[in-house]
Amino acid sequence: MSLALGNMMTSFRSLDKVWYLRQFSLFAGIGELEMRRLVERTTMREFSRGKVILHPNEPQEMVYLIKEGRVKISRYSAEGREQILDLLEPGDTFGELTLVQEAEPVQAEAFEDTLICSLYRDDFIGLIRRQPEVMLTVMKVLAARLRVAEEEIADLVFRDVPGRLASLLLRLAEAYGQHDHGGL
């Protein structure tokens, strides 16, 4: 490949990354210069279905943005039992807890073929220092996750098994259901 063609392909990939990153509400108010800086610091990677993206007890130093596919976030007991914490979709992020505290030992696994953009924690913190409004968006994401966790705790405390199952099915229908002529 010629040097000119190589430079053109790199430029195209950068424009593609800019377009992709702009799709995240996290970066909605970021100017062009800051976006270019962000593009230089991010890495795109593909993960095939079942591939582990993040292992428990590994140092967690990245923030991940899901472009395509879905990611399963799980925790494992000492006996090896899996607790699925979340199933994330395109546009979702994970790893942002490392911005404010040491992360819990969780595993992130590609639930299907997945394309992820990642950014080092320190680079993300630098972005927040330069663009404080990004932290407000991160806080909204974390608050929404806290709200879901509180609902799940309330279900465990106040509902019997059929009630918990009904509540879970309603949450799943709201999150993943599709409306048609007969309803959800």
What order of strands is seen across the sheet that includes strand 93-94?
42-47, 114-120, 62-68, 93-94
The per-residue pLDDT for 146 is 84
CA distance 82 to 107: 10
Q: Which residue stretches of the chain have pLDDT < 70?
A: 1-15, 103, 182-184
> Cβ(44)–Cβ(10) under 8 Å?
no
| CA dist 119 → 36, 104, 126 (Å) | 13, 19, 11
Tokens 């974390």 belong to 142
**Per-residue tokens: 11:** 């430029």
**Hey, what domains does the chain have and what are their CATH numbers?**
3-176 (2.60.120.10)
Residues 6 or more apart whose Cβ sits within 8 Å of residue 65: 21, 24, 26, 42, 92, 93, 116, 117, 118, 119
Question: What tens digit of pLDDT does each residue of 26-78 get?
Answer: 887 788 888 888 888 999 999 999 999 999 888 888 999 999 999 999 998 88
Please state the pTM of the whole predicted model: 0.75
Q: Shortest CA distance to 102 belongs to which of 58, 142, 64?
A: 58
| CA dist 145 → 80, 88, 92 (Å) | 25, 11, 11
